[in-house]
Structure 1
Amino acid sequence: MSIFAYDPFIMFITVITDCRDANAQSRQETRYAELFPGTHVSFVGVSSDIEAAGNLIDVLDGAGEAEGVIAVNVAPRHGRAKEKWPNGTPFGYFWFKKILVVCTIDGETLSLVKKFGLADRVNVTDIREVMLFGGYDESVIEHAATSQFRSFDYLPRLARIVWDKKDAPCDVLPFSDIPDAGPGVWWIDSFGNCKTTLLPNDIQFEEGAKREFVLNGLAIVATCYKQLRSVPDYQTGLIVGSSGYGDKRFVELVVQGTSAAKHYQISQKDTFEITRG
């Protein structure tokens, strides 16, 4: 039993977003703190939807049975996104245990939630409709609907509305319509270890077996080890890492004693093919 008293009214808020410069971070953290007084707000800056997807899994895992809000935002307005949505991807929400996830829905942001089977649908919202439902004035609603910073002007308010009312006007999008996560690197840690989107079953992980990656045209042969400490010095290994949810953990590409990312010139978001050795 913990030596610390447990207050059932304490909750957490974690923001995962590509709006990550110091100004954007401070504004978002302040708004969540204003809407959810007394909560602890954590911030994770990302640069892509697949980075957000992996961090979402890790935060859900870290939260355990606690209650809280996770806000996930990756909303490009260029390229395909500009053609598909007039002002960026819509926002939606879903519940997981006692956790409310409010999020963008386009791209691979929810692909790893789908892979882990943690939800079967996301509720897609319309900004004007939901904010009217939440009792906001027309001028505030219109500003949020046309804002270039919707993760500040709308997403925290969506979280507060749904947290209070448990639901909001929405259209249901089944996770069968969410894209699958392709094989790739979703995060590079401070040691240069590369967290992949793969689970051990995806590669028939077997201690001592060799697997071949084809990454940026380069074939990389790696041996499977259950733990990082088992990888010989300066050798390439595939290990079962710490990130993931429950008993399912992501496979990591490592080079013992140095950075796998630098050694193989790997970037976050790099994709690859893998064959059984």
Structure 2
Amino acid sequence: MITYITDCHDGNARARLSTRIGALFGQAPTIVAADGPDPESFAALTLLDCLISLDLLGEAGHPTITLLNIAPRDGLWPNGVPFCFFHYGKHLVVSTFNARVLSLVRRELGIEKVHVTDIREAVTAAGFGPADVEKIAGTQFRSLWYVPLLAKWVADGHPVPATETAVPEPVDAEPVVAHVDNFGNCKLDRGLDLVVGGTLPVARRNDDGSTTVVDVTVYPHLTAVPRNSPGLVPGSSGTGFTELVIRGGSAAAEFGLRPGDPVLEAAGAQVA
């Protein structure tokens, strides 16, 4: 099973990724689009959720490979952020070395170190000639030409030159919306210290640009929230991460929230 979370997800990119990975592994990947206003928060939550979904199978299960590419050309690296890999049990993850993308697996799963690779060094060690090394290292589409190769080498047990590197500790920022699901539920990037029956102040963005503070009640689960009313509940993502919901409606539409937006007023809840 191969899952590829990527911000390169147009039809042309999907076709090339599926074809190359299929040729290497004998199976095409499930490609997940990291889009929207904050692809990093979506990718971080989705990576965490993919790995957590491998727990409690009731049997050994099969090894999986999760690939992740969020690589803005921000000028800090010669041709974009380097790629790294790590294991979660017997499951392999290959990712861009992006501190925010890796922040949730660090915090929730204890992935404190990863193996960072240099493309030229790794491809040379695999036996490619100088011209091919430059083609793979210098391409605009490194997540096509390099990431599947790196995953194949590591999965097959081939030695890959890499530097064990600490994942930076995330800054203790305020809770934000990591993802809005198809129901309009706002999945936060963490769990809050919820007290059932209590309330927390949530900032609603109005059409005129103003903000209204709404005291939202905490409920034990979604079905306890009154219909057409907002509520805060332990959600389905992360390790019990909090969700802002409206049962029968869209919390994102009602509160004017998008991924990356902070949720609580400054005097709001404590993080669990």
- TM-score class, shorter-chain normalisation, is 0.7 to 0.9
**Hey, what's the Cα distance between the residues in 2 that align with 1:194 and 1:76?**
25
**Hey, what's the Cα distance between the residues in 1 that align with 2:218 and 2:244?**
9
- 1:106 offset after TM fit, Å? 2.1
- 1:167 offset after TM fit, Å? 4.6
What residue ranges of structure 2 are gaps of 5+ in the alignment?
56-60, 206-210
Residue 41 in structure 1 maps to residue 18 in structure 2 = no
Matched residues, percent identical? 36
* DSSP 3-state at the match of 1:63: coil
1:264 to 246, 250, 255: 255
Asked if structure 2 preserves the Cα contact closer than 8 Å seen for 1:53 and 1:109, the reply is: yes
2:179 match:
187
1:3 match:
none
1:1-277 correspondence to structure 2 within 5 Å: 12-37=1-26, 39=27, 41-47=29-35, 48-64=39-55, 65-77=61-73, 81-82=74-75, 84-165=76-157, 167-175=159-167, 177-180=168-171, 182=173, 183-199=175-191, 203-214=192-203, 217-244=211-238, 248-274=239-265, 275-276=268-269
1:8 match:
none
1:7 match:
none
Runs of 4+ aligned structure 1 residues displaced above 6 Å come to none
Asked if structure 2 preserves the Cα contact closer than 8 Å seen for 1:111 and 1:181, the reply is: no
Tell me how many residue pairs correspond in the alignment.
254
Change (3 A) 1:198 1:220: farther
**Hey, what's the Cα distance between the residues in 2 that align with 1:219 and 1:130?**
52
Write the deviation string for residues 64-97 of structure 1: whole angstroms up to 9, x where unpaired. 44302100110111xxx22x11211111010111
1:4 match:
none
**Hey, what's the Cα distance between the residues in 2 that align with 1:187 and 1:228?**
17
- 1:142 offset after TM fit, Å? 0.8
Q: Which has the higher strand share?
A: 1
Change (3 A) 1:102 1:233: same
* DSSP 3-state at the match of 1:103: strand
**Hey, what's the Cα distance between the residues in 1 that align with 2:244 and 2:159?**
41
Alpha-carbon RMSD = 1.9
* DSSP 3-state at the match of 1:23: helix
TM-score w.r.t. the length of structure 2 is 0.87
Whichever residue aligns with residue 44 of structure 1, its letter is V
Write the deviation string for residues 137-193 of structure 1: whole angstroms up to 9, x where unpaired. 322221111111111011111111111226521122113x24347421111111100
Asked if structure 2 preserves the Cα contact closer than 8 Å seen for 1:221 and 1:236, the reply is: no
* DSSP 3-state at the match of 1:249: coil
**Hey, what's the Cα distance between the residues in 2 that align with 1:119 and 1:237?**
32
What residue ranges of structure 1 are gaps of 5+ in the alignment?
1-11
TM-score w.r.t. the length of structure 1 is 0.86
Whichever residue aligns with residue 63 of structure 2, its letter is E
* DSSP 3-state at the match of 1:212: strand
* DSSP 3-state at the match of 1:106: coil
Whichever residue aligns with residue 265 of structure 1, its letter is G
Change (3 A) 1:166 1:194: farther
